[in-house]
Amino acid sequence: MKKSITQKIWKWMPKKSMSRVVGRFAKHPISRRVIPVYIKMYDIDLSIVKRPLSEYENLLDFFIRELKPEARPIAVDPQVVISPVDGTISQAGMIDQGTLIQAKGVSYSLSELLGENDTYMEKFNGGKFVTIYLSPRDYHRIHMPVSGWIEELTYIPGELYPVNELGVRIFPGLFARNERVISYIQSSCGQMALVKVGATNVGSIKVVFDEKIITNPRNRQLENHKKYSESYHFQKGDEVGRFEFGSTVILLFEPNQIEWTIEAVSGTKVVMGQSIARVCTTEGD
């Protein structure tokens, strides 16, 4: 009963308008006064932040802060897949019969997550996935998990439900309902998908290679799938985007392509650049 009431409250809340208001405030110079409170509230380590605190113009500027290069070394082994973000694994496992695990006892559809893109649904079915949650205290830039080419991108408009532990527990199919931007990557471990999921108070999701992608627009926007005439090449660890306030990323892998190098279970903390998987090789390679 309590769960049902919470769902109804969130359903009728003006989540998109709220998120735009938060985004506007975070960009206003007055929000700079909130930065010390934000740092204290979330116990943010300033020793690894690239710029001095005095240089940040507003709260958003601090939120998307860069880190010192030495703070996040990149695992150099070309057979290694790195975490694209700082965060906490909420789920990981097999994509079984076109479904992924959202939480204990709750699953959701791969087809719905990908906007019913049958081609990619067939590619990833039977493969592996990992879902990484970024809390408000985390570093929010998104980096390339492997060296490869971004060939296609899909923007899927949707809801902006919270993606924290509570949201994941009470909203079935959450990641396939929320707004998301999906980058498709061709790499040494086959095809991959880097799914960036929006959430309540996420002002926007940005990708560095396509400035025309605008999330949570004021005017209604339809799904937008792009095949780039010239694919974008990135080295492992290169920045490819960012969240303007916290959210979640999901990595999808084709079958028989990777093996985990970490304990890929709920609650495992990861940092950008850390090895999370190794590319499978056939005998004789």
**Which residues touch 232 (CB under 8 Å, ≥6 apart)?**
149, 150, 209
- Angle (CA) 272-216-245 rounded to 5° is 35
- Catalytic entry in 90, 143, 183, 204: 143
CB burial class (10 A; 0-12, 13-18, 19+) of residue 134? buried
Type of residue at 273: G
Is 247 catalytic? The answer is yes
- Helices first, then strands: H and E counts in the chain: 8, 16
Residue with structure tokens 């090449």?
Answer: 233
**What are the DSSP calls for 30-64, one per residue?**
GGGGGHHHHHHHHT--GGGBSS-GGG--SHHHHHT
Helices of type H across 138-211: 165-170, 174-177
* Beta bridge pairs of residue 153: 183, 226
Of the residues 19, 83, 247, 275, only one is catalytic, namely: 247
Selected catalytic residue, list 83, 86, 140, 183: 86
Q: Any idea which residues carry the catalytic annotation? A: 86, 143, 247
